[in-house]
Every structure is written in C-alpha cells, then in structure tokens.
C-alpha cells in the first residue's frame, strides 16, 4: 500500500503518533500522569532500607518506562487507525477506477480523481482511444505516451513539467508505457506524470503549454 501514497506505512504511523502526542491536549495530561504513575509504582517496590540514590534511580527508570508505555501505546493505536485510513483511501481510490472499466471511444469522463496506472490495469489495455477527460485529476507516478491528435485546454501540469518530458525514438516500441490516442483534456490536472514524446513533439508541446 505504501506505493499508493508515496509514504511507507511505518513512516505514516510514526508521523501521526508524533502529531497526536504534540498537538492533542489529552496527550499532555497523559504525558504528566503516565510517567509519574510509573515512577510512583516503581517506588512501591523499593525497600525502605535501600540507598536513596539507588531508589531515586529506580524511580527515574520507572518514569522512563511510563514514557515508553505512552509512546508505544500511542504508536499501536495509530497503527490501527492508519491501516484503517489506508483501507478506506484504497477503496475510494478504486471506486472511480471500477467505473472506468467499461470506458469506450467517444466517452467523456468528468470530475474524476484518477490513478492512471490503476485505470489502465482495470481496463486491461495499454491504450485509451478518443476519450475526453473533463475537470479530472490524473495521478501518477507513471509514464504515458500519446498517439495521434491530442488536445489540452487549460490544463495544469505542475511546476517544472518540462523536466518530465521524456524524449523517445521514432518507430521504437516502448513496453510498460500506456498511451492516450486521440484524447482531449479539458481543465485537467496532471500529478507526478511523465510524458514520452518525440523531440519535435516536445518542442511543440512546450511552445503551446503555459509553464509554471
């Protein structure tokens, strides 16, 4: 699942753990009572005859244990929550893809947030022919090509999109690259997508598209 979000699951869990501990008022109360409770519990098992320095050290380690329990418990809870979030996000991500499984020539796709790689997988094809995308967000990471005519109207390619234009060789076949054939894109946003084009197509593309 990590590849769908661009961030590994452990990193996301740890980020949410730190955010909860730093920003939630409940965490502030627990940060006071849990380590303090650990120190108090540790002192209950200290004999009265023990040297006070050793007793203080044991109390300190009891507080450290309380902190570890607080952080570990929070991490465990966030693990469950993050996995649930990712499950819900994956379902949301796949829902529009399933709708596109029956896409056909001359269809118009409106207002969809589309993972392009998953869309082609769902279609079981590496070509989409004569389709119009209107007010859609097309997401990568992936590389796509174009065949025939292509029409971009008021599309957002993001910053430094020229760096994502990959020069290809004429009459050379490229595997693993899906293609849009005679497709139109109106008010669409392209996110983390690179484009495979001939050098003359790249120059023409750069001359017609406004760069950010």
pTM of the predicted model as reported, rounded to 2 decimal places = 0.54
Assign 66 to helix, strand or coil: helix
Q: Where are the beta strands (DSSP E) in 42-155?
A: 108-110, 113-115, 127-129, 132-134, 137-153
As given in the structure block, the two tokens for residue 94 are: 């796949």
Q: Write down the domain spans for the chain.
A: 2-93, 103-208
Give the DSSP letter of residue 189.
E
Q: What is the pLDDT of residues 39-98, one digit of tens each?
A: 455 555 555 555 555 555 555 555 566 667 667 777 888 788 888 888 777 777 666 666
Residue 1: its pLDDT value, please?
39
């Amino acid at each position: 699942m990590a590849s769908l979000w661009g961030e590994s699951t452990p990193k996301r869990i740890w980020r949410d753990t730190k955010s909860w501990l730093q920003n939630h008022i409940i965490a502030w109360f627990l940060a006071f009572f849990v380590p303090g409770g650990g120190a108090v519990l540790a002192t209950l098992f200290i004999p009265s005859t023990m040297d006070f320095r050793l007793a203080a050290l044991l109390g300190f380690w009891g507080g450290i244990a309380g902190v570890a329990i607080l952080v570990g418990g929070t991490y465990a809870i966030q693990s469950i929550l993050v996995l649930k979030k990712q499950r819900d996000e994956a379902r949301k991500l796949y829902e529009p893809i399933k709708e596109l499984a029956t896409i056909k020539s001359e269809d118009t796709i409106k207002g969809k947030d589309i993972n392009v790689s998953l869309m082609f997988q769902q279609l079981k094809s590496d070509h989409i022919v004569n389709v119009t995308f209107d007010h859609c967000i097309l997401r990568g990471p992936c590389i796509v090509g174009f065949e025939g005519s292509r029409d971009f109207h008021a599309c957002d390619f993001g910053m430094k999109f020229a760096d994502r234009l990959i020069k290809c060789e004429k009459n050379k076949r490229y595997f693993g690259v899906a293609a849009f054939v005679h497709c139109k894109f109106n008010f669409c946003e392209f996110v983390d997508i690179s484009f495979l084009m001939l050098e003359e197509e790249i120059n023409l593309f750069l001359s017609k598209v406004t760069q950010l």
